[in-house]
Amino acid sequence: MTGMTMHRRQLLAGAGAAGAASLLAPIDWAALAQTASAVLRRKIPVSGEMLPVIGIGTAIIFDFEKGDAEKMKLRAEVLRTLVNGGGVLVDTAPSYGQAEARLGDLFAATGLRDKIFLATKARVGSREPTIESFNASYKRMGIDKVELMQLHNPKSEKQDLAVYREWKQQGRTKYIGFSSSFDRDYGLLEPIIQREKPDFFQIDYSMVDRNAEERLIPLARDNGCAILTNLPFGRGRFFAKIKGKPVPEWATKELGVTSWAQYSLKWSLGNEAITAVIPGTDRPEYMTDNLKAGTGPMPDAAMRKKMVDYFDSL
């Protein structure tokens, strides 16, 4: 179990968490359809395509053995909930263990591949190994193209997207970009963004890790990138801090927030440079809760400051 999942489960089991009872109830598919019509969409700058602001990440959570029927059932329901609730974005990587292979199994089982905006990655530097990584990912997922291919955690500012551009020209990927999840790599990302001007840029960003906010996110925005943010709960640190504490009434009244997960995700989405957030999600009720964060009013700058100040004071 991941730190994020553990803390979220503990939170929802506690009496003090606002909205806990509703999250544990069976999914209301009619209500989910209403959510789908209300989920905010934001523009991908390079194309104008509109992307729903709530997606999912597959690290750890989708890394399980092929014969695990219970996890297959739950993850299938997660994907169905995502799609029926108005989301499309699923982000994965070959470095996420068996996640790509399990997604391939899930696509075959659910028939949802054509309804998903699929993003994956490669983390090798030279040309031939990069192409081998692309082909291996496609084979594991049983597909012939993706919507987004990303160079994962670049280790040198000299790395480029030349091979990625070739695959885009061939129609093997619709968009290309970079992704990173480590503060230690931030320094080399700036020159890469300025030089390569990728279609997408993915970065870790949350209330417990705001280091990308001052320079990287504005830089990516100014260079025409769609911006995805991973680790929106800070590897469980967010839930660990608010465990046992109620969602503030003013957040419910002014933003419609009924859970701490929505509080965190809406805070991220209040930054209009962010195109979509991709929390790791292993249960359909969590997916339903996350999708609600993409509906209703989003916090302006003053409200975002109020939200983060309150969180910091806990």
Band of the pLDDT at 8, cuts 50, 70, 90? Answer: low
Q: Quick one: average pLDDT of 121-146?
A: 94
Range of the domain at 272: 3-20+29-313
Q: Is the pLDDT of residue 247 over 60?
A: yes
| pLDDT tens, residue by residue, 151-200 | 999 989 999 999 999 999 999 999 999 999 888 888 899 999 999 999 99
Evaluate if residue 18 carries a pLDDT over 50.
Answer: no
pLDDT digits (tens, 9 = 90+) for 99-109: 999 999 999 99
Confidence of residue 29 (pLDDT cuts 50, 70, 90): confident
CA 140 to chain CA centroid, nearest Å: 21
The angle at the Cα of 127, spanning 230 to 182, to the nearest 5 degrees, equals 25
Q: How confident is the model at residue 125 (pLDDT cuts 50, 70, 90)?
A: confident
Looking up residue 69, the CATH number of its domain turns out to be: 3.20.20.100
On the question of pLDDT at 254 being above 80, the answer is yes
pLDDT tens, position by position, 194-218? 999 999 999 999 999 999 999 999 9
Residue 244 scores a pLDDT above 60: yes
Contacts of 1 (CB under 8 A, 6+ apart): 9
Domain count, the chain: 1
